[in-house]
Structures are given as C-alpha cells and as structure tokens.
Amino acid sequence: MKLPNRGVKTRSLIVLNKTVMPAILVECLFADSNDADVYNAEVIARAIVCGLVGVDGSSDGEWKSGWNRNEVGWWYSTDPINKYYYTSDNGWKEIDGEWYIFDDNGYALQSAWYYDEKDKAWYYLDSDCKMVRGNKDKPLWK
C-alpha cells in the first residue's frame, strides 16, 4: 500500500497502557482531506486484517461448501470433495433467501444485466451477485 511505517507507539495511550488484556492500536494514516480522497478504505481494511490474521480472505485453492472466490469471481460449491458447483445449466438458484444466476464456467454474475430466455425478462445482479428485486421506479431498486 506504500504507507510509511511510523514505528511502535508507547506514549500515554489508554488503549495500550490501561487495559488488562493484550491490545493493538492500528494507526492507518494521518491525512488531510485532499490526501484522504486518494486512499481506498476497503484496501486499508483488508491490509489490516491480512496483517493481523495472516490471510487475505481469498481462496487458497481449497474448496469449501458454499461460496468460494478466486481472482475471476465467486462460485457456489454444493460438494467440495467432488468439486460440484452451480453453472448456467442449473438456472436460477435461491441461496439464503437471495436469487443468483451463474455463467457457463460456474461464476455468479456480478454487477451485470442478465436476459432470461425462459422468462423473457431482464434482471440485474448487484455487486454481491444478488438479483435486484423491483424496478428502478420502485423502492426496492438499489
């Protein structure tokens, strides 16, 4: 992330000196409003988590039941031992009360429009791959 390491702080910080349990104070950065616009909060948050737990949350090649992710996108495995997953052949799938559609390679469509030949209708999949309900003129539209 190219942020400078400002070293360990040992001053009179209550979080570090007045608690009975181990504590870590994470200083992300000091920035004025012009500088703050340059930094992506999500990237900084992921870097903190990676530094604390030693993993970045992405898939390490191990499949698990449910949602999996790699550099291409998200897929849903129904049987990780035999590597079964949903594809476009499975049609719409309801998972935890939300509707998803998958491409031929098994990846959930994300931030994309999808034309359903069976329904003769367009659907939008949001950034979480979930089908958006309603339409742009109704309150449920995101």
CATH number at residue 89: 2.10.270.10
Q: Could you tell me if residue 7 is inside a domain?
A: no
pTM of the model: 0.53
Q: Could you tell me if residue 106 is inside a domain?
A: yes
User: 137 or 52: which carries more pLDDT confidence?
Assistant: 52
Q: In total, how many domains does the chain have?
A: 2
Q: Could you tell me if residue 89 is inside a domain?
A: yes
Does residue 121 sit in the same domain as residue 75?
yes
Q: Could you tell me if residue 136 is inside a domain?
A: no
Q: Does residue 9 surpass a pLDDT of 70?
A: no
CA distance 129 to 115: 15
| 8-state DSSP, 89 | G
Does residue 109 sit in the same domain as residue 77?
yes
Q: Could you tell me if residue 9 is inside a domain?
A: no
**121 closest CA partner among 98, 97, 142, 101:** 101
Q: Could you tell me if residue 8 is inside a domain?
A: no
Report the SS3 class of residue 139: coil
Q: Which band of pLDDT confidence, cut at 50, 70 and 90, is reported for residue 89? A: confident
Does residue 48 sit in the same domain as residue 75?
no
pLDDT of 90: 85
**What is the domain range of residue 22?**
14-53
pLDDT of 139: 44
